[in-house]
Structure 1
Amino acid sequence: MVVATFSLVARDPDTGDLGVAVASKFLAVGAVVPHAEAGVGAIATQSYANPRFGPQGLALLRQGASPEGVLEAFRRTDPGLEKRQFGLVTARGEALTFTGQDCHPWAGGVAGEGFAAQGNLLAGPEVVEAMAQTFQASRAPFPERLLLALEAGEKAGGDRRGRQSAALLVVGEGKGYGGLWDRYVDLRVDDHPEPIPELFRLLSLHRLLFGRGRPRPLKEGEIRWIQALLQREEGYEGGVTGRWDEATEAAFLRLIGRENLEERYGGGSLLDEEVLDYLKERFGWSS
């Protein structure tokens, strides 16, 4: 399995979140390359990829191994190591990138505090250099920083065979769905002529459905509009009063759940502007 690709593994110094961004001329690269665990580390395994490197490496990091210790463990247990390539970053920001001598050229990587960029079958070293420079210079939110770095690698030449798939995995303590697990961004473009732009589109949609805005009190006219909407869409039998009550909230919860926006609503007559704008566009605002 030649997972010829370019990837970035990184840690967000502000939040401690960990992530992997990857692109390749390979079907469903996100099913093979990225692995991450909050509070432990992130790993990208590629080039005749050994998918076991993900869980094995994370287990070693969980037990306190250093990045060099993980590499030595792989060297002892994998006779095909010289065909492989991987990058890892720990929850403390220690990083390592490894490229076996039998990887297809151009192959290599660069690592620094909190990140490792690597690739094989690339246009040249400028691909990983562009990823590293963009990640370090960007002040965008962490998931966007990872994608901006991936985009920079693509613009620098990317996989010299072309484009097919891309993926983004980000983990953070308690940031997953419902606060019940750590994987809060897990997006994959498995087969697409422009996988990285498509991944940006998916991240934008993810932000709408699962982001965290700043709720504000709904105005009386907005509540009236919502109540009229709920009469049409959810069988709400209360009046269009402009006052938020239990019946309004129960119907609104049904509507929000149907639109997959339940993670954006905390209850009561507080709603953030992005969700309100979405509902106005989706259902036709009338003041």
Structure 2
Amino acid sequence: MTFSIVARSGTAFGVAVASRFLAAGAVVPAADAAAGALATQAWANLAYRPQGLTMLRTGVAPADVVAALTTADGLRAERQLGVVGPAGDGASYTGEECVPWAGGVVGDGYAIQGNILTGPEVVAAMEGAWLAGAEQPLTARLLAVLAAGDAAGGDRRGRQSAALYVVDPGKGFAGSGDVAYDLRVDDHPDPVAELRRLLGVHELLFGAGDPASLLELTAELSAEVESRLARLGHTSLEHWAGLENIEGRLVRDAVDPVLLDHLRAVSERVGG
């Protein structure tokens, strides 16, 4: 019912999943920023999530986590599981009774798996996208993997949901946790594309501006900003940005171009 990737990049661990199943993001992924990540799917066993993370926290290797979880499970023939840890190859398991096509591939820092797929070309395309995206941020890389699997045929029953879950030490909201991304599309005709849109919104609201790209607040640019704010009924950039939830992109004596583009787009929608 599902195709997924579990991966490691730098200090981050992530899971991306798509499925012809309602709210796959509520079932499949689990991750701990200090230990690793996993995906449970096919006839998913939710107990795998806390049990697997507990083993990873104690230093158990991904292949041994898979072996321990599946050996103790009387329904292992119907399960599928992917695991990555802080070092080395990921591990993937496909029970012999998973609905075909079902299988997976692993490599250094990743495990890719799927079931009820159009064929092995789906996981092959996903692996190719992962290996080709080494220079990308983890979120963009995971989305590219999902898109490649989707384009190669994906779930042979169709599309419904997709999710992206990434943990990274201290990279949660306002630095208050480790969950950097937890984005879900629960029911949508094109869930991978919608997940990409949500990632763009997330980057607008919570992404950090690139210091090298900041624009000098010249008299001309300042006048444009004031004019656009007035069109929206605001007298300060700080007040407007706060209401738009993008105050994190405010900088002293300069303008983040992402914030400026958003201001321009919003002000154009009101006319003038």
> 81, 88, 91: which one pairs with 1:86?
81
Please state if 1:128 is matched with 2:127: no
Please state if 1:167 is matched with 2:163: yes
Aligned-partner SS, 2:111: strand
Aligned equivalent of 1:255: 240
Gap regions ≥5 residues in structure 2? none
- Residue 262 to residue 91, structure 1, CA distance change in 2 (3 Å): farther
> Which residues in structure 2 correspond to 1:17-56 (within 5 Å)?
17-56=12-51
Please state if 1:219 is matched with 2:218: yes
Q: Residue type of the partner of 2:262?
A: Y
Aligned partners of 1:223, 1:112: CA distance in 2, in Å?
Answer: 51
Q: Residue type of the partner of 1:175?
A: K
Is the CA contact 2:43–2:78 (under 8 Å) kept in the aligned structure 1?
yes
Aligned equivalent of 1:181: 177
What's the offset of the Cα at 1:131? 0.5
What's the offset of the Cα at 1:220? 2.2
Aligned equivalent of 1:118: 113
What's the offset of the Cα at 1:116? 0.6
Is the CA contact 2:105–2:127 (under 8 Å) kept in the aligned structure 1?
yes
Q: Structure 1-normalised TM-score?
A: 0.86
**Aligned-residue RMSD, C-alpha:** 2.1
Q: Structure 2-normalised TM-score?
A: 0.90
1:108-136 Cα deviation digits (max 9, x unpaired): 10100111100111111111111111110
What's the offset of the Cα at 1:253? 2.7
Aligned-partner SS, 1:181: coil
> 147, 150, 169: which one pairs with 1:151?
147
Is the CA contact 2:39–2:83 (under 8 Å) kept in the aligned structure 1?
yes
1:208-243 Cα deviation digits (max 9, x unpaired): 22222223432223333444555665664xxxxxxx
Work out the number of aligned pairs and report it: 266
- Residue 232 to residue 198, structure 1, CA distance change in 2 (3 Å): closer
Is the CA contact 1:234–1:254 (under 8 Å) kept in the aligned structure 2?
no
What's the offset of the Cα at 1:60? 1.0
Aligned equivalent of 2:5: 8
- Residue 197 to residue 279, structure 1, CA distance change in 2 (3 Å): same
Aligned equivalent of 2:266: 282
Aligned partners of 1:224, 1:93: CA distance in 2, in Å?
Answer: 54
Aligned partners of 2:261, 2:158: CA distance in 1, in Å?
Answer: 38
Please state if 1:72 is matched with 2:100: no
- Residue 235 to residue 147, structure 1, CA distance change in 2 (3 Å): closer
Which structure: larger Rg? 1
Q: Residue type of the partner of 1:279?
A: L
Aligned partners of 2:234, 2:121: CA distance in 1, in Å?
Answer: 59
Aligned partners of 2:74, 2:120: CA distance in 1, in Å?
Answer: 27
Aligned equivalent of 1:108: 103
Q: Residue type of the partner of 1:276?
A: L
